[in-house]
Structure formats: structure tokens, C-alpha cells
Structure 1
Amino acid sequence: MTDFVLILIGAALADNFVLARMLGVEPWLDAPPRLAPAAARALVATLTLTLAAAAGWIVERALLQPLQAAFLRPFALILLAAWLAVAVARLLHRATPALATAAELRPALLGVDGAVLAAALLAATRPLDFVGAVALGLGAGLGFGLVLLMFAAMRARLAAAPVPAPFRGAPIALVTAALLALAFLGFAGMG
């Protein structure tokens, strides 16, 4: 149980996919300035990253290792990540159309700019058991969601702030991202 919690907190804070690894940056910078769509996106990303880590671990342990086919790992995990992004998008559109509409879902968004592939790859290559792989995916999703919600809240405040003209838009977003990365750097000793 303590390993689960340590892996979860480490993946969410110390080894954050967005701020430490620069994965999932495009959907994060494209975050809506309202909290409701950002929360829906965070929920969907957490689900997708958790499933990707679990599926990557299963593919590695049940398929690639017994066949001694480690050379197929990149190809297999790329296919897995692409299939998973499309499958989760379709499933959410059918099961909960309101959540899919609120999150402004599209399969490219669920790819989370390589974060799904990274979650599957890290779960497959790290010496983890299945529960550890699930903790890694869940922590990555929670960390992505935390950063997404923080950035959406800051973006709403920045829209009303007296930002100098040259810094409006993307420049202030990048400055905000840098400050968030510095804040999360304080968790570096936890990983």
C-alpha cells in the first residue's frame, strides 16, 4: 500500500508529466479558461493515462517478454496508445455524451501529446508490479489534471489582469508555465 501511495504521489508531483517531462503540453496550453471543461478534460486524461499504464504493463509482461520480442515494444505501444485514445473517446461519446461534450473531446486530445504513450512505456519498462503500473498511470493522470486545473484557473485570472500588450496570449502562458514548473520543482526530492 505504501508503494502505491509513493508511486502515485511521485508521478503526480515530483515526476509530473507536463512540468517535468514536457508531455501533454499542447492540450494543456489549449486549456479552456473555465474550470468545468478543464475538470472534464482532467477526468478523461486521468482515465486514459491509467488505462494506458495498465495496458502497457500487460502487453509487456503477457506478450512481449514471453515471446522475447522487446524490439517490438515501441511499435506495440504506439498502436496501443493510438487505439486506446480512439476507444476511450468513442466509449465516452456513447456512455456519457455530456462529459464528452464538456471536455470538448477529440481522439487527438486524448493522445495527450505523447503522454499516453509515455505512461504505457514507463509502466512497461520500470520494475513495477501491476498495482504499481496502475499507480503510475493514476498519478500521471492526477498530476496532469492538477496542472490543467491550475492553469485554467490562472488563465481566467490573467484574462482580467492588466497584462502588458507584448505579454498577452502565448507569452504570459509560457511565463505562467515556467512559474508552475518552478513550483513543482520543490517536489523533486519526493520521486
Structure 2
Amino acid sequence: MYYIYIWFNIDTNEIFYVGLGTGDRRFQIRQRNNLFKKYYGQNKCAVRLIKSGLQEEDARKLERVLIEELNPCCNMTKGGERTNGKKISKSLTGKTHTDEHRMNVSDAIRKWHQEKIRNSKQIIVLDKDRNIIKTFEAKYLLGEWLHNEFRYGKHARSAQRMADKYFNNKALFDKRFYFENKC
């Protein structure tokens, strides 16, 4: 038996993914597309079961209908396909977003960044001789810099977590940097 589930943003209640599954599929994070993983990594998210006990064909039809109605931003296809784990090119989906939707997403991302900065302490990056190299308004910006400039971590958040261990102590990060919170 199959079920339909949705992933949604806890803060905004935005449904960003509609899926079909069996077993514990709805709880899995690793086997997701990059849009899903990025959204999930940047927001507080939860999963909700919509309907269970469905035959496969009924589940696939319902998935297609919900994706069409809700237009979730992280679904890569129109739903109902038997992909069996194969990656599907976004260019093949035929999905387009309205200008209003793009503007709303852009505004939400901008507000999210502004909130992160308001709730953060300034970060100072020092070289081995304790000279200031760079300053950041928030820790997440440090993670982006470390990842983009030096390829630390699989993504910006993992680079930030690597650096977190080195704040306000005497140890060098990768024999290159010291990090301090500016008070």
C-alpha cells in the first residue's frame, strides 16, 4: 500500500514538496533532489501524511493532482512517474513559476537573510599572526565564504559547522585561520 505526504516549512506553512511512498520514505532526507536538500537545510521543516492505504495507480494520480494544485517549489517532476531513483532533468519537467511566485520566494529569502544577520554576532577571521583578514555580519556568511573560496565542507552549512569548533579558542582552523566573535 502507498501513501501521499507533504513536506512543509514550519514557520510559513509553505508546502515545498509533495511525495508518494511506502515504508519510511517520507522521513528520508538523503535520497532527495538538491532543491529539496537546500530548502530543508535552510528552514525548519516537517513532514505530514496526507492519505494512506492507496493502491499504486491511485497514489500516483493523487500525487500528480496535488503537485499541479500546490505547485511546490522542490518537486522536480509533475509527479506520478516511476523514476526508480533516476535523476530527472529539471528542464524536462515543463514547470514554470509565475513572476509573483518568484518575487515571493525572493522576498522570503531576503527576509530570512536579514533575520539571520539581526540575530548574529559579527565574526572576525584572523590569520596565523592574528591580523584581521575578513569580517562577516553572521556565522552563516563565514560558512559560505569558507565553502566557496576554499572548498571546505560539502556545502556552506557543513563548512560553518567545521569552523564552529574553533571559535574563541587558541587553535588554528586548518593551520590557517582563527575565528572570533566580535562583542
Both proteins in one fold, TM over 0.5: no
Q: TM-score, normalised by structure 1?
A: 0.26
More helix, by proportion: 1
- Give 1 or 2 for the bigger CA radius of gyration: 2
More relative contact order, 1 or 2 (CA 8 Å, 6+ apart): 1
Q: TM-score, normalised by structure 2?
A: 0.27
